[in-house]
Amino acid sequence: MGPEPVAIVEHSSGVNINFILNASADASPTNVLMDAAAKHTGFTHIALEITNVEAVKRQLDDHGIAITETVEFGGATFFFVRDPDGNVIEFHKPAA
Span 55-75, average pLDDT: 93
pTM flag (> 0.85): no
The structural domains of the chain, ordered by start, are 6-93 (3.10.180.10)
Task: With CA atoms as reference, report the closest residue to 94 among 11, 35, 16.
Answer: 16
Span 50-79, average pLDDT: 94
Q: Return all residues near 43 (Cβ < 8 A) that are at least 6 apart.
A: none
The reported pLDDT for the residue numbered 35 is: 59
Q: How far is CA 59 from CA 53, 65, 94, in A?
A: 10, 9, 19
